[in-house]
């Protein structure tokens, strides 16, 4: 079973988009690091994955822009704005 089958809970404190860092220029293996911005949207996967899990993740304004521009809303799923009161209720 792969790690991808285990879905993380939605994090309303931090954008959950993962970036791939590093390249052939850095002479290192690429690694993933998480965006640190406060989330503005929740992205839901339209289709369940192979294991039957259906993902959702928090995503910030910047990443949401990228998400829309790269066509992921069509290919993956819609974005729902995080309600302001959800962020304050902690």
Binding residues vs Zn ion (CB under 5 A): 15, 17, 35, 37, 60, 63
Sheet of 41-44: strand order equals 56-59, 41-44, 79-81
- Pick from 79, 75, 74: which is nearest to 17 by CA? 79
35 near 17, Cβ under 8 Å?
Answer: yes
Q: Which is nearer to Zn ion, 15 or 42 (CB)?
A: 15
| Nearest approach, Cβ of residue 33 and Zn ion (Å) | 11
Q: Which is nearer to Zn ion, 21 or 51 (CB)?
A: 21
| Nearest approach, Cβ of residue 78 and Zn ion (Å) | 17
15 near 60, Cβ under 8 Å?
Answer: yes
| Nearest approach, Cβ of residue 58 and Zn ion (Å) | 8
Q: Which is nearer to Zn ion, 50 or 69 (CB)?
A: 69
């Amino acid at each position: 079973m792969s790690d991808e089958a285990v879905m993380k809970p939605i994090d309303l404190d931090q954008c959950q988009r993962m970036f791939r860092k590093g390249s052939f220029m850095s002479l290192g293996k690429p690694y993933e690091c998480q965006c640190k911005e406060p989330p503005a949207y929740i992205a839901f996967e339209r289709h369940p994955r192979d294991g039957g899990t259906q993902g959702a993740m928090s995503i910030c304004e910047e990443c949401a822009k990228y998400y829309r521009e790269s066509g992921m809303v069509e290919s993956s799923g819609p974005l729902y704005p995080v309600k302001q009161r959800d962020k304050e209720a902690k």
